[in-house]
A = this chain, B = another copy of it.
């Protein structure tokens, strides 16, 4: 156990979680977006907020951008601003859902001109990657249909495959195209990339630089997500996570808040496959909203939730686990996993932080920092950032 603990500390030290710029803007449901004081008004302020999360946790050194929400004149300046604050630019997310012309589709649209426009948007994103040093182009395809018969499902796939080929051709050698899937919303009959199988089919057609993104909130009820993690690892195509929590649909709650045992099981598959190490190429990202809770503390809680699940996964006594599995000892093997989950890892994580010169509890450290009051006082003019801008 002592050895497990030491090894866990070492692995946790190397773990990084990427946080999304849009978590620091206002978000909500179709019914209402509630505002909050001090919300960032531009990409520079979003990055400043993200840097606070990293300053408190020591585990969140990258920020994903979303284009056009994070469009700036000088991306080099934005990257330098991030570096000054101790963070780097992570994945560049394209946006295919907020143009009036995309009402019936973007990369799948029947009209070539609209498809071309959507492809060109990715060329802009690749430029942002070059300017910021990002290596991941993340594509969540919001395309789909609302009514049976509305469009030809097969024709849409073929148009999608063609569009993806063109986007893939834009990549530099070290770049990756990360393709996310989602079962439903914003369309409600058939999404064009609804499941990991479809995402994989397209990645296989594209080549090695195409990988699947698994968003934990994008599955049908009762889907076993850790199985998909395992399978994508097995076929070498798990590129990244979008972490968040759900009870019902794509609830976008704080990761680990709804089912911490599920998050632990997911991280257990990662550890089991030795895919936690930084050079595994898996980008552990957050993608979630803070509709009613404060945003920076919400991100801090999210990061610590992932850390706690990871710590527990690292504390699994794998020798005992494998021995029980090999012996067909159902309850023994299950118990070996559960023993790790039952462990209170908060002291371990406090030690991790203190050994890095951080406060043991990032949530309290942030509360004590006065940052929230400061931004509430300072950010009084202008328009708070949101999904729409």
Contacts and interface: CB of A to CB of B under 8 A. Distances in A.
Contacts of A35: 100
Contacts of A331: 147, 293-294, 297-298, 301, 363
A69 to B, nearest CB: 12
B31 A97 contact: yes
Given A31-B387, A221-B221, A325-B110, A188 B251 contact: yes
Nearest to A325: B151
Contacts of A27: 30
B189 A224 contact: yes
B31 A253 contact: no
A190 to B, nearest CB: 5
Contact of A259 (B235, B261, B322): B261
Contact of A222 (B221, B226, B291, B342): B221
A330 B146 contact: yes
A330 B226 contact: no
Contacts of A155: 325
| Most chain B beta carbons < 10 A, residue from A147, A151, A227, A346 | A147
A269 interface: yes
A277 interface: no
A34 B97 CA distance: 10
Nearest to A196: B197
Given A31-B387, A195-B195, A294-B331, A253 B153 contact: no
Contact of A292 (B104, B298, B338): B104
| Most chain B beta carbons < 10 A, residue from A186, A247, A259, A260 | A247
A258 to B, nearest CB: 8
Given A30-B387, A200-B197, A248 B185 contact: yes
Interface in A179-202: 183-186, 188-190, 194-198, 200-201
29 contacts: A28-B186, A31-B97, A31-B387, A34-B100, A104-B292, A104-B328, A146-B251, A147-B253, A147-B254, A148-B258, A148-B261, A148-B338, A149-B333, A154-B230, A154-B233, A154-B272, A154-B273, A155-B325, A188-B246, A189-B253, A201-B235, A224-B247, A258-B261, A259-B261, A293-B330, A294-B331, A301-B335, A335-B363, A342-B346
Return the 5 tightest CB-CB contacts between A and B, nearest first: A197-B197, A149-B337, A220-B220, A188-B251, A221-B221
